[in-house]
Structure 1
Amino acid sequence: MQGATAAASAAASEGARLILGPLRADQVTAVGAVARSSGIPVIGFSNNPTAAGPGVYLLSVLPDMEMKRSLNWIKTQGRRGIAGIFPATDFGQAQEAAFRQQAAIASFAPSAVYTFSSSGEAQQIVNQALPQIQNGMIDTIFIPDRATAPSFGVLLAQAGVKPGAVQIVGSADWEGDPAIANAPQLAGAIYPAVDPAGMAAIGADYQRQFGGAPHALATIAYTATILANVNTLSMANPPYNPALMSSATGFNGRDGAFRFLVNGRAEYALVLKRIAPGGAQVLEGAKL
């Protein structure tokens, strides 16, 4: 964090009007503290909503929007018995908080919420959930943690939960993970993601320029650069002021339509994808 603080101080002393980055939540928080005292807005790339705040905008897909998008679709499917499984980490707590909040907004009352400190607790969680699955009290389980989702899928199958009996819901973090895509026990699972059209649009140019495939976060960097050069933002008085940054009309970036809220968090128009043989397929187009 010391490096992030020093870099932000240097940028402020050199007359920066906007800071792009950094990536980690603690770094964004550190940079934000320096930038705020200098009246400089920040567009950070963390996906932990706790790093957002007035003048500190997060240009990432955040748990709130992921949960909102998935829960609204679940509701249209007539499913009501939702449960969630979250790691006992800072980000896991943010996911759990978003799950509870968005469930309440969508008029859901979660049947159960489980947390775990290690993958060794997965079997115990499945054992606890199984009676409610069998009696129909749980028909949907949110498992946003990419690292442990395949293990939970295996344990649910071993417990006799038949495919389709429970709808598994993941997170945008699932995108591009071969362990997720190739896990047969996760076939039929859904997860929210940014519109893949943006990455497809830059792929060929990126390959020509840099000789490789773009990083998964490349589209965020592209969008941040576009925002920094929007005349209505950069030439405003003051530049990048909160009223313009949090305009309800939003912006159109490489990952599609999005908008910043006054609390610094972003809302994206997300697609829903479904795990299927041969790779994830778009189930439903982009929606806020």
Structure 2
Amino acid sequence: MFAVFRPARKVTRLALGLAAAAFLAACDPVPTGGGPSINTSKPVPVALLVPLGSAQSGDAVLAQSLENAARLAISDLSDVQIDLRVYDTAGNAGTASAVAAQAADEGAKIILGPVYAQAANAAGLAVLNNNINVLSFSNNSKIAGGNVYVLGNTFQNTANRLASYAGRAGKGNMVIVHSTDEAGEVGRAAIAQAIAGGRASNAGAVPYERSQQGVIDAVPNVKSTVEASAANSIFFTSTTAGALPLFTQLLPEAGVSPQEIQYIGLTRWDIPTQTLALPGVQGGWFALPDPGKAQLFRNRYASAYGGSPHPIAGLAYDGIAAIGALVGAGREDALSGAALTQNAGFQGVGGIFRLRADGTNERGLAVATIQDKQVVVIDPAPQSFSGAGF
């Protein structure tokens, strides 16, 4: 992270619809290659790498939530046995490399996790010669490729979805406002790529240093760029914990009204919920997982464990459910790269998703706005990869 399915079978354990992340369509032909052979009639060893033991605040809760979600997914599988083996990475790359190698030596056929980008990259390198794939919880596409896949929602997914929607809605002449740190630069590149894909037009980019003074200094530049280009939208890379609240306060004061210029966010604007009360975010657009499916997962998790899941816990459920679906197809090459990237995709806890051959992913996202301090979906998440939004 940035510092930051079974075909044609109805599974009844989760009548609300999560069930084993069923294939979205008939499974594509799966050529052999890029993964170990497995015996689908026996429990399949899966290593789960979590940041338990990390000194970073919150990692212990995150680790437990990921394990809970993985075990919840296992309990919802039908006629598939998963032998889950949990390993502690302590949240660092060196330990992740060591425990990934240990997991391979102990028979793991695939690795689920770890969370952080450097740790995921190290784990992938550690098991590369073992022909084992890694489904990391990172959203950093820089580490994707080879035997490492990222399950986290990427900036590119969000940028593509929002640029496409903005273009259709007549708000596609965009000014990109981005911080100059790594996350901001990656976000800027994702938005620029989405624009270059024909979804919108690039009206310019305004960088800012990630500080209060940096935001203050950038406001006149944003205004002049919007006016000079006749832009009708601003695409922010900033987060609700960073520059977004200040931008959405200062830009309207400077005359860049959100009633005239569409504000768009690359990150979630509904977390934390206090953000919804900010005057400047009212009417802004952002993307999020299918709210209905996400709520079903939260309810299911709360019923099983008596609390709320961590915001990324669903990635562990998705990973296990996808593995279970592939193993359930009965093929010895079920965990090969070709199988993992089958084009039909999977139905996950936040909607449809599929892994790509380059190690990145595509996820079906909804477009939402904030009205009267409430989240309102204005364009539902697509239900297939051939539908609207892709």
139-148 or 128-137, larger mean C-alpha shift: 128-137
Superposed CA deviations along residues 128-150 of structure 1, whole A, max 9, x for unmatched, are 12123345622211113212111
How far did 1:278 drift? 3.2
- Tell me, in whole angstroms, the C-alpha distance in 2 between the residues paired with 1:173 and 1:6: 34
Aligned to 2:154: 62
Q: CA 1:286 to 1:165, structure 2 compared with 1: closer, same or farther past 3 Å?
A: same
- Tell me, in whole angstroms, the C-alpha distance in 1 between the residues paired with 2:108 and 2:185: 34
Establish whether residue 97 from structure 1 lines up as the match of residue 192 from structure 2: no
- Tell me, in whole angstroms, the C-alpha distance in 1 between the residues paired with 2:328 and 2:205: 42
Q: CA 1:151 to 1:224, structure 2 compared with 1: closer, same or farther past 3 Å?
A: same
Larger radius of gyration: 2
Question: 1:186 corresponds to which letter in structure 2?
Answer: V
Aligned to 2:280: 185
Residues 198 and 219, structure 1, Cα contact 8 Å, conserved in 2 = no
1:68 counterpart SS class: helix
How far did 1:231 drift? 4.2
Q: 1:48 aligns with which of 134, 140, 148?
A: 140
Q: 2:106 aligns with which of 14, 18, 21?
A: 14
16-25 or 106-115, larger mean C-alpha shift: 106-115
187-196 or 232-241, larger mean C-alpha shift: 232-241
Q: 1:125 aligns with which of 218, 238, 241?
A: 218
59-68 or 158-167, larger mean C-alpha shift: 158-167
- Tell me, in whole angstroms, the C-alpha distance in 2 between the residues paired with 1:29 and 1:258: 22
Q: CA 1:234 to 1:37, structure 2 compared with 1: closer, same or farther past 3 Å?
A: farther
Establish whether residue 111 from structure 1 lines up as the match of residue 203 from structure 2: yes
188-197 or 172-181, larger mean C-alpha shift: 172-181
Aligned to 1:269: 364
Q: Which has the higher contact order (CA 8 A, sep 6+)?
A: 2
How far did 1:105 drift? 0.6
Question: 2:347 corresponds to which letter in structure 1?
Answer: N
Question: 1:263 corresponds to which letter in structure 2?
Answer: D
Question: 1:245 corresponds to which letter in structure 2?
Answer: L
Q: CA 1:103 to 1:231, structure 2 compared with 1: closer, same or farther past 3 Å?
A: closer
How far did 1:165 drift? 1.2
- Tell me, in whole angstroms, the C-alpha distance in 1 between the residues paired with 2:99 and 2:329: 21
1:280 counterpart SS class: strand
2:381 counterpart SS class: strand
Aligned to 2:250: 155
| Structure 1 unaligned regions, length at least 5 | none
How far did 1:263 drift? 0.3
| Structure 2 unaligned regions, length at least 5 | 1-92, 383-389
1:241-252 residue pairs with structure 2 within 5 A? 241-252=336-347
Residues 228 and 234, structure 1, Cα contact 8 Å, conserved in 2 = no
Aligned to 1:209: 304
Structure with the bigger percentage of helix: 1
- Tell me, in whole angstroms, the C-alpha distance in 2 between the residues paired with 1:11 and 1:28: 14
How far did 1:81 drift? 2.4
- Tell me, in whole angstroms, the C-alpha distance in 2 between the residues paired with 1:246 and 1:175: 31
1:188 counterpart SS class: coil
How far did 1:201 drift? 0.9
Superposed CA deviations along residues 8-27 of structure 1, whole A, max 9, x for unmatched, are 11111111101000111111
195-204 or 256-265, larger mean C-alpha shift: 195-204
Question: 2:206 corresponds to which letter in structure 1?
Answer: Y
Superposed CA deviations along residues 78-120 of structure 1, whole A, max 9, x for unmatched, are 2342111222222222211111111111254422212223222
- Tell me, in whole angstroms, the C-alpha distance in 1 between the residues paired with 2:344 and 2:252: 45
Residues 163 and 194, structure 2, Cα contact 8 Å, conserved in 1 = yes
- Tell me, in whole angstroms, the C-alpha distance in 2 between the residues paired with 1:193 and 1:214: 16
Residues 203 and 226, structure 2, Cα contact 8 Å, conserved in 1 = no
1:228 counterpart SS class: helix
Aligned positions, number: 288
Q: 1:286 aligns with which of 369, 374, 381?
A: 381
RMSD: 1.8
Question: 1:105 corresponds to which letter in structure 2?
Answer: G
2:371 counterpart SS class: coil
2:296 counterpart SS class: helix
What is the identity percentage for the equivalent residue pairs of Structure 1 and Structure 2?
Answer: 25
TM-score calculated relative to the size of structure 2:
0.70
Residues 61 and 172, structure 1, Cα contact 8 Å, conserved in 2 = no
How far did 1:245 drift? 1.1
Residues 149 and 180, structure 1, Cα contact 8 Å, conserved in 2 = no
